[in-house]
Amino acid sequence: MRIVGILVALAGWLVPLVALSMTQSTGARFGACVLGIIISLVGILGVLNGVHQADAIWKKG
Amino acid sequence: MKFWKRRNRCLWMAIAILLVCSLAAFATPETAPPAVPAAQAAPAAVPPTPAPAVAPPAMDVPLDTKAAAAPSVDELAKGDPSGTKIGTVSDVIAADSKKGLTLADLVNQAGQNRIAINFVWTLITGFLVMFMQAGFAVVETGLTRAKNANHTMMMNFMVYGFGLFAYWVCGFAIQMGSAGPYSTLGGGAGLTGEYTINLFGKPFGLWGTHGFFMTHGGAYDVAAMVMFLFQMVFMDTALTIVTGTCAERWKYLAFAVSSVFMGALTYPLFANWAWGGGWLSQLGTNFGLGHGYADFAGSGVVHSVGGVTALALGMMIGPRIGKYTRRGKPNAIPGHDITWVLTGCFILAFGWFGFNPGSTLAASGNGALRISSVAVNTMLAGCTGSFGAILYMWIRYGKPDASMSGNGLLAGLVAITAPSGFVNTIGAAIIGSVAGVLVCLSVEFFDRVIKVDDPVGAISVHGANGLWGVISVGLFADGTSNYGGSWNGVNGGVTGLFYGDPGQLVAQLIGVGTLIGFVFSLSYVSGWIIDIIIGQRVPAADELAGLDIPEMGALCYPEFVLKPEPEMEPAMAAGD
């Protein structure tokens, strides 16, 4: 799952980059940036942090 | 209860008055002048007046310097208590002493003086930034427990050496290997190597290829040395951010390797993209997005890179023993010396006057006199940052929290770092006050929701507010800056959304996406590899005992009797 989290974070970064070539519209590029940032945050704070929280030191009894 | 309500009412009223004042200032019908490219500065409608035909003065003819009235040797021998006799024509050096002083000598002296002013300015501001290491060291040490003080101090001390070494070997080359020649420092003409790929039909610069060991590819150059010193202390600032988040449980060897990697690759790579002529800086010329990614002094390049790396490693290392109960409720672990914390904040605020104004890399020419505006913006945002944080804490918790006031000051300074050269004072005040509140919200978010333990709040101060600083350029840049007529190869001053250029905001957001998506991932993967090979976290027994003896071999306070750990839930005390 760690690798999945990293891949999702990287995928989010690629979204606005790909959008640069697909559209000239500033609005569309803005939307792609916001979408990409959200995807990256899901990968980091959702997936990756979830892996670490599942194995957190304070949960061990 | 009544008193509490009355006090809250007063605080809210104070906030409301401030907001109204800010809005009123914004509503003033003063239109920002449109960014005028330097090449188009002359109005087209007015025909230019033909200049009188005057033959240019001969450059190599000896000048009649009698009118300059240089003091005689006898006069100088009497001393110069008023300081009016020295610094005259007799101090200008003639290339040919037999021929005497020529116009060429004066012109060359003027050029030398401009470069010398810029050298001295950049070096001295670099020295100020270097001293920020001391500020970080005492802030972080003060916010950790006495049993870990030596370990925390030693991380902050040696990060300077580890980072410097890595940056000298390859970091500078990767970052600035193609940034020459420098318009303000007059040299670096050999540093022109950039590894570039073609993507979407446009060149994407990825890393520099000249300047390894500061000897290769024209790096043995006085201007390149100035640039190295200034950029090195910036890089070191990014590295020291991570030590705060990972304090009190980070294995010293892992810290050392991690710092070398970050100084050699992670930081220089993003810095090349933003400052070294890489693809982020070219978003304006290649894709028409404003002036490309604009980050005047490094909210993104320095602070966010440090902040997201801190998040990656803090997440991986996990919270300190005792930070969370078995039900996941956070415990406060107070630092051992608030005096150090606030003294360190002042040292950092002082150093920031090197960080931001120094980023003009000049005090003479190229619009560099804007250093005064940059300095005032820096001062103001730090002030409103601490103001925002203290108000938030006072209203929410009933006390003006000291450590969060310090973090508010730093948050304001971090946030203004990117926009300091592009915004006016109203923008700076708003950016700082938002940062002050944001740092409090972010600390609570990471502490309670994400459950990433950050003893000093570095992820929030540097990561969250660094990103806010990057975004704020795309909102508040007013288009009045003019550093040599262009920025990142695009004519005119950097202009944000509120002043008419939405493309600049998109360029900034692409930078934010790169920091979150790419820099975080690179930091996480490198940290993961180090975790597998060396191990990132110290054993639980060492952590409970304090890292001073197990990791460093000596206590920071050998004559003090350290207070034993408060009782924790059995599971926590056992550690892993």
ipTM of the complex: 0.97
Nearest-angstrom CA–CA distance, B193 and B290: 25
Put simply, the answer to whether A16 touches B328 (Cβ < 8 Å) is no
Counting beta carbons within 10 angstroms of the beta carbon of residue B285, is it exposed (0 to 12), middle (13 to 18) or buried (19 or more)?
Answer: middle
| pLDDT value, residue B97 | 86
For residue range B379-438, list pLDDT tens digits in order. 999 999 999 999 999 999 999 999 999 999 999 999 999 999 999 999 999 999 999 999
Residues of A in contact with B512 (CB under 8 A): 33, 37
Residues of B in contact with A6 (CB under 8 A): 521, 524-525
CB under 8 A, 24+ apart: contacts of B191-198: B191/B217, B191/B218, B191/B219, B191/B221, B191/B224, B192/B218, B193/B217, B194/B272, B194/B276, B194/B277, B194/B278
Nearest-angstrom CA–CA distance, B69 and B361: 35
Q: Could you identify the residue written with the tokens 């059995």? A: B570
**How near does any CA of chain A get to the CA of B522, in Å?**
9
Within an 8 Å CB–CB cutoff, is residue A51 touching chain B? no
Within an 8 Å CB–CB cutoff, is residue A37 touching chain B? yes
Within an 8 Å CB–CB cutoff, is residue A19 touching chain B? no
For residue range A3-61, list pLDDT tens digits in order. 999 999 999 999 999 999 899 999 999 999 999 999 999 999 999 999 999 888 888 75
Put simply, the answer to whether B513 touches A2 (Cβ < 8 Å) is no
Residues of A in contact with B516 (CB under 8 A): 9, 12-13, 37, 40-41, 44
**Spatial CB neighbours of B72, under 8 Å, sequence gap ≥ 6:** none
**How near does any CA of chain A get to the CA of B512, in Å?**
8
Put simply, the answer to whether A14 touches B509 (Cβ < 8 Å) is no
Which chain A residue shows the shortest CA-CA distance from B309? A44
Within an 8 Å CB–CB cutoff, is residue A48 touching chain B? yes
Predicted structure pTM score: 0.89
Distance from CA of residue A34 to its chain's centroid?
A: 11
Write the residue in B200, B318, B502 that is nearest to A56 by C-beta.
Answer: B318
Put simply, the answer to whether A58 touches B521 (Cβ < 8 Å) is no
Collapsed DSSP state (helix, strand, coil) of residue B9: helix
Put simply, the answer to whether A37 touches B516 (Cβ < 8 Å) is yes
H-type alpha helices, B320-401: 338-355, 371-397
Which chain B residue shows the shortest CA-CA distance from A43? B517
Residues of B in contact with A48 (CB under 8 A): 315, 524
Write the residue in B287, B513, B575 that is nearest to A36 by C-beta.
Answer: B513
Per DSSP, the residues of B38-65 read: GGG-S-SSSPPPPPP--PPPPSSSBP--
For residue range B14-71, list pLDDT tens digits in order. 556 555 545 544 444 333 333 333 333 333 334 445 555 677 778 888 888 777 878 8
Q: Which residue, among B510, B537, B543, would best test binding to A if mutated, counting the most A CBs under 10 Å from its CB? A: B510
Put simply, the answer to whether B288 touches A24 (Cβ < 8 Å) is yes
**How near does any CA of chain B get to the CA of A23, in Å?**
10
Within an 8 Å CB–CB cutoff, is residue A31 touching chain B? no
Within an 8 Å CB–CB cutoff, is residue A3 touching chain B? no
| pLDDT value, residue B565 | 66
**How near does any CA of chain B get to the CA of A33, in Å?**
6
Which chain A residue shows the shortest CA-CA distance from B568? A58
**How near does any CA of chain B get to the CA of A42, in Å?**
10
Q: Which residue, among B204, B269, B287, B315, would best test binding to A if mutated, counting the most A CBs under 10 Å from its CB? A: B315
The two structure tokens encoding residue B381: 């945002």
The two structure tokens encoding residue B57: 């003065």
| pLDDT value, residue B2 | 54
Residues of A in contact with B313 (CB under 8 A): none
Distances (CA, A) of B160 to B131, B144, B233, B263, B393: 11, 20, 8, 10, 34
Write the residue in A14, A36, A57 that is nearest to B318 by C-beta.
Answer: A57
For residue B14, what is the enclosing H or E element?
A: helix B2-27
Residues of B in contact with A15 (CB under 8 A): 513
Is the bond leading into B181 cis (omega within 30 degrees of zero)? yes
| Biggest alpha carbon–alpha carbon distance for chain A | 56
Nearest-angstrom CA–CA distance, B341 and B335: 9
B-side interface with A, Cβ within 8 Å? Answer: 199-201, 283, 287-289, 311, 315-316, 318-319, 321, 323-326, 328, 450-452, 502-503, 505-506, 509-510, 512-514, 516-518, 520-521, 524-525, 528, 571-572, 574-576
For residue range B404-419, list pLDDT tens digits in order. 999 999 999 999 999 9
Q: Which residue, among B521, B522, B528, B572, would best test binding to A if mutated, counting the most A CBs under 10 Å from its CB? A: B521
| pLDDT value, residue B98 | 87
**How near does any CA of chain B get to the CA of A43, in Å?**
9
Domain residues of chain A, as ranges? 2-51
- Is the distance from CB of B177 to CB of B208 less than 8 angstroms? yes
Nearest-angstrom CA–CA distance, B354 and B378: 10
| pLDDT value, residue B31 | 37
| Tens-digit pLDDT string for chain B (576 aa) | 455 565 566 556 555 655 554 554 444 433 333 333 333 333 333 444 555 567 777 888 888 877 787 888 898 899 988 888 888 888 898 998 888 899 999 999 999 999 999 999 999 999 999 999 999 999 999 999 999 999 999 999 999 999 999 999 999 999 999 999 999 999 899 999 999 999 988 999 999 999 999 998 889 999 999 999 999 999 999 999 999 999 999 999 999 999 999 999 999 999 999 999 999 999 999 999 999 999 999 999 999 999 999 999 999 999 999 999 988 999 999 999 999 999 999 999 999 999 999 999 999 988 999 999 999 999 999 999 999 999 999 999 999 999 999 999 999 999 999 999 999 999 999 999 999 999 999 999 999 999 999 999 999 999 999 999 999 999 999 999 989 889 999 999 999 999 999 999 999 999 999 999 999 999 999 999 999 999 999 999 999 999 999 999 999 998 887 766 665 544 444 333
Residues of B in contact with A30 (CB under 8 A): 502, 505-506, 509
What phi, psi does B304 have (nearest 5°)? -70, -40
Report how many Cβ contacts below 8 Å link chain A to chain B. Answer: 104
Write the residue in A16, A26, A57 that is nearest to B513 by C-beta.
Answer: A16
| pLDDT value, residue B57 | 74
Counting beta carbons within 10 angstroms of the beta carbon of residue B570, is it exposed (0 to 12), middle (13 to 18) or buried (19 or more)?
Answer: exposed
| pLDDT value, residue B33 | 38
**How near does any CA of chain A get to the CA of B202, in Å?**
9
Which chain A residue shows the shortest CA-CA distance from B524? A6
